[in-house]
A and B are shown apart, each in its own frame.
Chain A
Amino acid sequence: MSAAAPVPTTIRLQERDFDVAAEIAALTRGRSDIGAVVTFSGICRGGEGSEAIAALTLEHYPGMAEAEIRRHVDEAIARWPLTGVTVIHRYGRLVPGENIVLVVTASAHRQAAFQGAEFLMDYLKANAPFWKREERRAGAATWVEAHRRDDEALTRWKDA
């Protein structure tokens, strides 16, 4: 990794959908230093346990959401030899099957790309200021509770 050249990063919060293939192409076009690209897509599930979900509404904190994602992208770039990072997080009302979040990491070799993507998702889930409200098919709408497992997922990066 060159210390001088900044790593190309794209961070977007948007209501509209994203195209995974187009985002990979945008990150890798004209580059010959990338040997590995890892993508993670988070998708709206149609149910949680036995509860059928009609839609999710994602609320976010504009300004802080971008800043928090930026801090974690910078940390990932400091920890692994990444050569490109894209993070897109949607907000608004999403129905089952729709994309919620995309993380793309590029590197010369796969390990950094895999680890960087996993680190970013673990941190985004626990720290990026987004809140999901579930509309059940049965009618009621409730805020999704944070999972202890999402906080636990962070601990492995702390002593790594």
Chain B
Amino acid sequence: MKILYFAWVRERVGKAEEEVEPPASVKTVADLMQWLVGRGEEYARAFEKPVVRAAIDHTHVKPDAAIAGAREIAFFPPMTGG
């Protein structure tokens, strides 16, 4: 699946997007965050504040949302548009 990062989450991870194939045990958005954190220091930094939001296929989701079937998952800080 494709993962996108925005704003300071993007800066901390050091990339705007990547393709990942998490193991089957990674079932929810929270699982995915935890799995990403295990991949390296930059991910640990990106997800250290408990404020990072997620969207699956362009829709806001909560951490307990299932990721099965997702094409695109995005992680980003709270929105500051308008």
Chain A residues within 8 Å of B, Cβ to Cβ: 42, 58-61, 63-64, 67-68, 89, 100-101, 121, 124-133, 143-146, 150
Contact = CB atoms under 8 A, between A and B. Distances in A.
Chain B interface size band reads 10 to 19
Interface in B38-82: 55, 58-60, 74, 76-82
Contact of B76 (A58, A124, A131, A132): A131
B6 interface: yes
Nearest to A56: B80
Contacts, number: 70
Interface of B: 4, 6-8, 55, 58-60, 74, 76-82
User: Which of A59, A63, A133 has the most chain B CB atoms closer than 10 A to its own CB?
Assistant: A59
Contact of A60 (B58, B60, B77, B81): B81
B58 A131 contact: no
A145 B7 CA distance: 11
Most buried by A among B4, B60, B78: B78
